[in-house]
Amino acid sequence: MGIARRQFLQAGLTSLIGWQFLTRDRVALAADQFVRQATGSPQRKRALLIGINQYKTKDDSPNSSQNFSQNNLSGWLPLHGCVNDVELQRELLIHRFGFAPQDIVTLTDHEATRANINDAITEHLVAQTLPDDLVMIHFSGHGSRLGNYNTLVPVDSGLPQNLENLRDITLQEWRSWLQQISTDRLLCVIDAGFYYPNISTLGNFRLRSRVGRNDWQAPTEVAQLEKQVIGTILRAASGDMLCADAQWSGFSSGAFTYALVQQLWQITPATTINVVMSDLATTLDRRALHNDNLSIDKQIAAMVELDPTKQKAIATSTFNALLTTPDFGSDGVILNSTDRRTADISLAGFPITVLSNYMAGSILQVMATQVAAATPTIAKESEATPTPSQPISAVPQTTVQVKSRNGFNAKVEILNDYSSLQKLETGQLLQEVMRAVSHNVKLAIALDSGLSKIERVDATSAFSTLPNMFGVNANEQCADCLFGVQSASYGLFTVGHTPILGSFGSVGESVGVAIKRLQPFLESLLAAKLIRTTENQATSHLNVKVTLKAMIGMDERSVILASKAAARATLIPSNNVNNIARTKPINIGDRLECQIENFSDQPLYVRIFCLDPRSKVLTPNFITTPYANDGIIPPAETLTIPYPKAPMNWAVSAPQGMVDVQVVISRSPLLQVAKTLEASQRQASSLNGLIAIPNPLQVAQALLDDLDRAGKPSEFGNLVNISDAWMLDVQQWATFSFNYQVA
């Protein structure tokens, strides 16, 4: 890479002025000031992205359960999603946060040796970074624990049984390397685990941790290192937390990395770190590995490492202090355009629950970015990115339709006026217009590797007879739940291998009988999957805000659990958009209350669905007075559910665990949902409170029917009439996802 300009200038200034007059720090400061004055250089943004899949473990043969079991006992497995993590972060940094491609160094697989990682930090970051520059470092791969030290595992490090081949990087060394970078604006992301639970897979996930060694002694130079403060560290796991390498629909990634990247595509300058990490921790708890011993607030504390003097400020700190954030969210970006009409795009701005079911036919708006102030004089083309003082806004340009999707990448084609002068260009950002959801969404059930070959064959056959459901081998495909055995009885687990309460039968039950018994559970899970495909707080234009409150304790003290507004609404006052999240659990017996503010001049219609740890789908009973009209929010008014000071209670009930609340709001009445629910509501044993929906799959399908009928923009004509999909217009509905933890 050659001698860095900072080192050259330091040497020159030192020789001119003399060491007797300047300390090393003052030389560095003088050199930095000289560089700024001489070049007029604005803030530079540099990144080092490291991702390792191909560790040298035993041959991995995923189609062989015997080989897989042997690998599982070897102490680690190759990973699948780390290189994709690098790609996801690189696209985010370039197209969302204005990093120049040449200022991003990537080390993947065989390149990511201990020596190469150290050299890249030294030559790319330490030697070239000035005090006001922004630095981003990402590591995805295996972690480990040696003695009292957590370590990162480069590609050339082996198992700890052979100490001569051990080249782990202790976190003390890692921090000491990064401490040499001359900037406080440093963000480090570590998607690796350190605790090895004597298995390399759990549920439908591979674990990003390698077997460790308790008796390992650190070299003297490592043992003498003190813990350094190096800016902000976001990490997937700490202590005994587990870290998941996840198989999604069409691609693999770190569960932590995808959840973080998706949030960063959508955040605006006012978004706090606490809100982002709360949503991220909840996503991981529900979609990946559940931490029995850690509440969401404790998981957040474990995932964020700040300067101790700033730790208490996490609730009010924003990512804008580290990454200059545009004023608008983005759902994707054009990666390259093959001609005027077609392009390859990334869709990493969508939550995984939406992306996994995002269908060809969906429509997106191409947004041209507009900088409010003129770009300042620059020294290099690579520095031509907006500075923090330059607000960035988006201007609608043209529309495109998804023709095919593979994982988080897709191909699109211009939808309107092919003869226009508009053309697709790399780096143009995308926002959702219409969402296509297939009529044939199915539930994928992973078969636990602990089942025998005969049990797996019987389960595969039994699942094939159920409509809209199919079985897959664990760790090979994206799955929604897991079928396995516990204490000699069959039942269902989450994909992170947490038992689904109430799903386990009697000892001696056959596989076929068990699966027939489990059909209602599976239909509820499929219904929940369909409802979650409508989540669109980040893309909705509906002028509405929802606040979920809890009345806690004997004195019923009111506490806001979360407050969310449609991100692309136009009529909500800026001082009313206070997206917040409470992370502490609430107790059985506390009461809940949902407030919905309608800022528009027309009525809106609402339906609330609760998805509990037993996989039951519940909804408030809107049949009896005064609740019969609780599904309607008048123009410019606030609706409170349940009706204040009335007999109906929305009480927090057993069992313990995480509860999802989906608040669906539409411009049009949800008539099909009401019709499908009417019989079960009138037959409910209690006319107050929440009722369990006996036919959740039919209700979920009715919901999508209603949203599909809510209206399609006339300018798209027949192009949106896709026979095998529901077409949902983001102007017409908003689905807000809330979560609360029952202690």
Band (pLDDT 50/70/90 cuts) for residue 586 is: confident
Return the bridge partners of 363, or none: 401, 434
Q: pLDDT digits over 506-531, tens only? A: 999 999 999 999 999 999 999 999 99
Cis peptide before 655 (omega within 30 of 0): yes
Domains 44-256 and 443-530 are alike in CATH topology: yes
Q: Work out the burial of residue 704: count CB atoms within 10 Å of its CB; fewer than 13 is exposed, 13-18 middle, 19 or more buried.
A: buried
Strands (E), 236-339: 244-247, 252-254, 304-305, 332-337
Cα distances (Å, whole numbers) of residue 667 to 149, 282, 565, 602, 673: 56, 29, 16, 8, 14
Q: What contacts 432, CB < 8 A, 6 or more positions away?
A: 331, 350, 362, 363, 364, 365, 536, 539, 730
Classify 480 as helix, strand or coil: coil
Q: pLDDT digits over 107-143, tens only? A: 999 999 999 999 999 999 999 999 889 999 999 999 9
Classify 445 as helix, strand or coil: strand
- Domain 332-435 of CATH type 2.60.40: no
pLDDT greater than 90 at residue 48:
yes
Name the pTM for this structure.
0.88
Which residue type sits at 495? V
For the chain, which residues make up each domain, given as ranges? 1-39, 44-256, 332-435, 443-530, 534-742
Q: What contacts 21, CB < 8 A, 6 or more positions away?
A: none
Q: Which fold has domain 44-256?
A: Rossmann fold (3.40.50)
Nearest to 658 by CA among 443, 498, 484: 498
Q: pLDDT digits over 592-627, tens only? A: 999 999 999 999 999 999 998 888 999 887 665 556
Rounded Cα–Cα distance for residues 485 and 477 (Å): 20
pLDDT value of residue 475 = 86
Cis peptide before 642 (omega within 30 of 0): yes
Rounded Cα–Cα distance for residues 21 and 33 (Å): 17
Which residue type sits at 529? K
Rounded Cα–Cα distance for residues 735 and 601 (Å): 19
Q: pLDDT digits over 443-495, tens only? A: 999 999 889 999 999 999 999 999 999 999 988 899 999 999 999 999 999 99
Band (pLDDT 50/70/90 cuts) for residue 25 is: very low
Number of residues in the chain? 743
- Domain 443-530 of CATH type 3.30.70: no
Nearest to 285 by CA among 233, 248, 237: 237
Which residue type sits at 168? D
Q: What contacts 95, CB < 8 A, 6 or more positions away?
A: 333, 427, 429
Question: HEC states along 482-504?
Answer: EEEEECCEEEEECCCCCECCCCC
